Amino acid sequence: MIGRLLLLCALATVASPRCPGAVRWSAVLRQPATWYATAEAHTVADNVLLWQTPSGGWPKNHDMTVPPAPHDLDAEDVSAPTIDNDATWTQLRFLALVEAAQPDARYRAAFQRGLDYLFAAQYANGGWPQFYPRLPGYYTHITFNDDAMTGVLELLRDVARGKAPYDKIDDATRTRAAAAVKKGLACILRCQITVNGQKTVWCAQHDEITFEPVPARTFEHESLSGSESVGVVRFLMGEENPSPEIIAAVQGAVAWFEQVKLTGIRVIAIPDPKLPHGHDRKVVADPSAPPLWARFYEIGTNRPIFGGRDTIIRYTLAEVEPERRGGYRWYVEEPAKLLEKDYPRWAARWIKSN
């Protein structure tokens, strides 16, 4: 059956350039180094150029292994370049890998336009909005949600350091990238939420003027993030010579993660074709389950919070309507690796024992 599908796809390629290739867009940054010199990588890169918007950024939620269809170009979101859902910085990393493997002036120009887009989108205070040009609403907030801002900063830090495949970038651009990273670091430290004198973590989004934690969608309340804060901490730990302020920020966040971890529970999916997502989710007791963290914690109490499209804060997942209960990731596991492996290695190097 698989062979037949591949044959059909190969035959369709003759008539339609939109037949997806063997590599999925979600995996374009995880290929062997030799793949980026292949004809397939070259074709994908050509398609990525077609998706680039006039501002230099890229839209989200599109398969960019294929070129845009006419209806894609007419769609409203194509005119809304963003850093949400890994957009723009993923395309830039991909173009850099392909250009390093098979130099092409078109890829270099598109890459530079994309960097210029990121430089232009950054607020003077160091943060990034979710969309640029800015759209009204919560999209203007400094956005850590889904690792948007940290994804940009990781890229710019690699550019600033001249790390391959960014080692051919000119000094002026690297200097701009370093300045953007410096401002971004200051913004991160400014946004860290302090509760009763103790540094904790970050909200998924912060006000672009006051730096205060703010809500986004109706079910995403201002809170302490058990998910996005992991990426923020990892970015801070990636600094080559962390300042005392960075070290204190990391220590405060790690202590908070330890404090709020949830043990003895497991989240299970229960198939139910009658529900919007084809399943329900339920929290059950399980003493042997690995630790979990809530996606959101109430500021001041550290109680896990949940919500639906009615904007009301709930304190158990069971209270949320089935559509949101089964359609959103309310619990995460990512802090476990941070606490068990990443932080101990980092602390051994940078935290002096008394």
Q: Which residues are catalytic?
A: 85, 217
Measure CA of the first residue to CA of the last residue in the chain; give whole Å. Answer: 64
Contact assessment for residue 138 and residue 215, using Cβ atoms and an 8 Å cutoff: yes
Half-sphere exposure (CA, 13 Å, Cβ side) for 222? Answer: 13
**Which string of DSSP letters, residue by residue, matches 81-109?**
-BSGGGTTHHHHHHHHHHHHHS--HHHHH
HEC per residue, 169-226? CCHHHHHHHHHHHHHHHHHHHHHCCEECCEECCCCCEECCCCCCECCCCCCCCCCEEC
- H-run or E-run covering 268: strand 265-271
- H-run or E-run covering 282: strand 279-285
Quote the DSSP letter at residue 67: P
Separation of alpha carbons 130 and 108, rounded Å: 25
Contact assessment for residue 236 and residue 249, using Cβ atoms and an 8 Å cutoff: yes
Q: Most distant CA pair in the chain: distance in Å?
A: 70
Structural tokens at position 279: 């399943």
Half-sphere exposure (CA, 13 Å, Cβ side) for 71? Answer: 1
Separation of alpha carbons 13 and 294, rounded Å: 45
Separation of alpha carbons 195 and 197, rounded Å: 5
